Amino acid sequence: MPVDTALAAVFHAPGQPLTIDAFPIPKINQGETLVRIRCATICGSDLHTRTGRRNSPSPSVLGHEMVGDIVATDTSFHPGDRITWSMVWSCGACDNCLRGLHSKCDHLYKFGHAAITPTSHFTGGFAQYCLLPAGTAIFKIPDNIPDPVASIANCATATVAAVLRKASPIKGQTIVILGAGMLGLTACAMAKHQGAKEVFAIDTDPQRQALATQFGASLNPQQNSAHVVLDFTGNPDAMEQGIQYLRTAAAFILAGAVFPSRPIELPAEQIVRKCLRIEGVHNYSPNDLAAALDFLAATTYNFETLIEGHYSLNEINEAFAFAHSHKPPRVAIYPNEKQ
Ligand SMILES: [Zn+2]
Ligand SMILES: [Zn+2]
């Protein structure tokens, strides 16, 4: 009997175009879910993998920000449900999971980051299907969240939810946000949503900084004014400058430095005298994705304006070229359209 196949965009090596290849559509086993992808967005880390700045296994199917419809499932969800899921699969049983650190699970699996094997191809968002292993944290998407906005939930929005959870309390506080890309803009809007008194955004790109004012941010924070400073740049210069905004007993949360860079210089005397708290956040827990969806369903800020392009899977190399040349916060791919 012939096996039905579907398409996936395969990453081979930095600098090389992705190829569109056909693979057998998998059958589900115990606890698994098969999803037909509606939309996937290109995250900054996909761009860095493509250029080689970031190391990633290959060949692989990139894309970890996506939304789809359930085709078949052995869970309590149903075929036809429009869902997102945690981009980080965690076991729930190891020491880190039991301490609530799901994002640092000893058996971590990340969609869009695993090498394909002869029996496993649909592991990322830039494909017509994705197979979710047993135990994946799945969430139904509220009807009022459009597909491209739902796509960003399980990377950008959920990560910001984790950062704000670590930075809490937010209500009534002054927040300074370094970097006004998708995560920084999301942080501006979510901090306002959580009742921040004032949110300031800083970006070296004047256009992005101006965009932040449409997501609740003010400009030009004063020194020693912030209860919380959040870094989404990963840029050592920006992080060093961010320290000046911290008031006494403030929190400095670092979330942008996911690539190796030069060490930053920290004024130890200020850390001590001002009783500062400095913490890192990487990835998120399933509860943060739930919080992200609640926020996207409730927010009045228009995230759809941050997602540009409407590319089919066959046009994925054009989509990456557009993302590199125009640098919109996100570019959208619709793998099951216009093939
Ligand atoms: Zn991402
Ligand atoms: Zn674990």
Q: What is the mean pLDDT of residues 122-130?
A: 97
- Using the predicted structure, report yes or no on whether residue 7 has a pLDDT greater than 80: yes
Q: Read off φ and ψ for residue 280, nearest 5 degrees.
A: -110, 150
On whether both 133 and 170 belong to a single domain, the answer is: no
Counting the structural domains of the chain, the total is: 2
Dist. CA 234 → ligand 1 center (Å): 14
CA 192: distance to chain centroid? 20
Asked whether residue 339 carries a pLDDT value surpassing 60, the answer given is: no
122 and 9, same structural domain?
A: yes
Ligand 1 geometric centre to CA of 87 (Å): 9
Rounded CA separation 257/253 (Å): 11
- Does residue 338 carry a pLDDT above 80? no
Does residue 39 lie within any of the structural domains?
yes
Dump pLDDT digits (tens) for 173-229.
999 999 999 999 999 999 999 999 999 999 999 999 999 999 999 999 999 999 999
Please report whether residue 71 resides in a domain. Answer: yes
In-domain check, residue 272: yes
Are 275 and 326 members of one domain?
no
User: Ligand 1 mean position to 65 CA, how many Å?
Assistant: 7
Q: In the predicted model, is pLDDT for residue 19 greater than 70?
A: yes
What share of the chain in percent tops pLDDT 70? 99
Residue 245 lies in a domain: yes
The residue whose two tokens read 């430095």 is: 257
- Same-domain check for residues 275 and 312: no
Distance of CA 241 from the midpoint of ligand 1 (Å): 25
Percent of the chain at pLDDT > 90 equals 89
How far, in Å, is the centroid of ligand 2 from the Cα of 87?
A: 14
User: Are 91 and 21 members of one domain?
Assistant: yes
Judge if 181 and 59 occupy the same domain. no
Task: Identify the pLDDT of residue 21.
Answer: 96
Query: Would you place residue 54 in the very low, low, confident or very high pLDDT band (cuts 50, 70, 90)?
Result: confident
285: three-class secondary structure by DSSP: coil
Is 131 in the same domain as 243? no
- The verdict on 248 and 321 lying in the same domain is no
Beta strands in the chain (DSSP E): 5-10, 19-24, 33-41, 65-73, 82-85, 88-89, 109-110, 129-132, 138-140, 174-178, 198-202, 226-231, 246-254, 277-280, 307-311, 330-333
Which domain range does residue 34 map to? 5-140+302-333
- 247 part of a folded domain: yes
- Cis check: omega of the bond before 142, within 30 degrees of 0: no
Q: Which ligand is nearest to the CA of 49?
A: 1
Task: Calculate the CA dihedral of residues 99, 105, 111, 114 and round it to 10 degrees.
Answer: 170
91-97 mean pLDDT? 92
Shortest-distance ligand to the CA of residue 104: 2
Q: Residue 31 and residue 227: Cα distance in Å, rounded?
A: 44
Let me know whether 76 and 179 are in one domain.
no
Give the number of the ligand closest to the Cα of residue 46.
1
Check whether residue 177 and residue 235 sit in a common domain.
yes
- Which ligand neighbours the alpha carbon of 102 most closely? 2
Provide the whole-model pTM: 0.94
Ligand nearest to the CA of residue 91, numbered in listed order: 2
Q: What is the pLDDT of residue 1?
A: 55
Give the closest ligand to the alpha carbon of residue 96: 2
Confidence of residue 2 (pLDDT cuts 50, 70, 90): low
Evaluate whether 268 touches 243 at the Cβ level (below 8 Å): no
The domain spanning residue 128 has which CATH number? 3.90.180.10
Do the domain assignments include residue 293?
A: no
Q: Which pLDDT band, with edges at 50, 70 and 90, does 34 fall under?
A: very high
The confidence score (pLDDT) of residue 203 equals 97
Distance CA 236, CA 232 (A): 11
Q: Angle 286-298/182-193 helices, nearest 10 degrees?
A: 70
**Would you say how long the chain is, in residues?**
339
Q: How far apart are CA 286 and CA 334, in angstroms?
A: 25
pLDDT in tens, 236-278: 999 999 999 999 999 999 999 988 889 999 999 999 999 999 9
CATH number for 259: 3.40.50.720
| Residue 185: partners with Cβ closer than 8 Å, 6 or more residues away | 201, 208, 211, 212, 215, 306, 329
Alpha helices in the chain (DSSP H): 44-51, 95-98, 147-152, 158-167, 182-193, 206-212, 236-242, 268-273, 286-298, 316-326
Ligand 1 centre to CA of 196 (Å) is 25
Q: 64: CA distance to ligand 1 center in Å?
A: 6
Would you call 252 exposed, middle or buried from its count of C-beta atoms within 10 A (0-12, 13-18, 19+)?
Answer: buried
- Considering the domain boundaries, does residue 75 fall inside one? yes
Taking the CA of 330 as reference, the closest ligand is 1
Task: Give yes or no: residues 267 and 178 share one domain.
Answer: yes
SS3 256: coil
Rounded to an integer, what distance in angstroms lies between the CA atom of residue 40 and that of residue 152? Answer: 8
The Å distance, Cα 289 to ligand 1 centre, comes to 13
94 Cβ partners below 8 Å, 6+ apart?
105, 106, 107
How far lies 154's CA from each of 19, 247, 321, in Å?
25, 32, 23
Residues near ion ligand 2 (Cβ under 5 Å): 90-91, 94, 97, 105
- Ligand 1 centroid, distance to 66 Cα (angstroms): 10
- Residues 224, 184, single domain; the answer is yes
Q: What is the whole-number distance in angstroms between the Cα of residue 270 and the centre of ligand 1? A: 33
Residue 210: inside a domain, yes or no?
yes
Residue identified by tokens 């559509």 is: 25
Q: From the CA of 88, how far away is ligand 2's center (Å)?
A: 10
Average the pLDDT over each of 21-25, 118-122, 298-302 and give the range with the smallest value.
Answer: 118-122
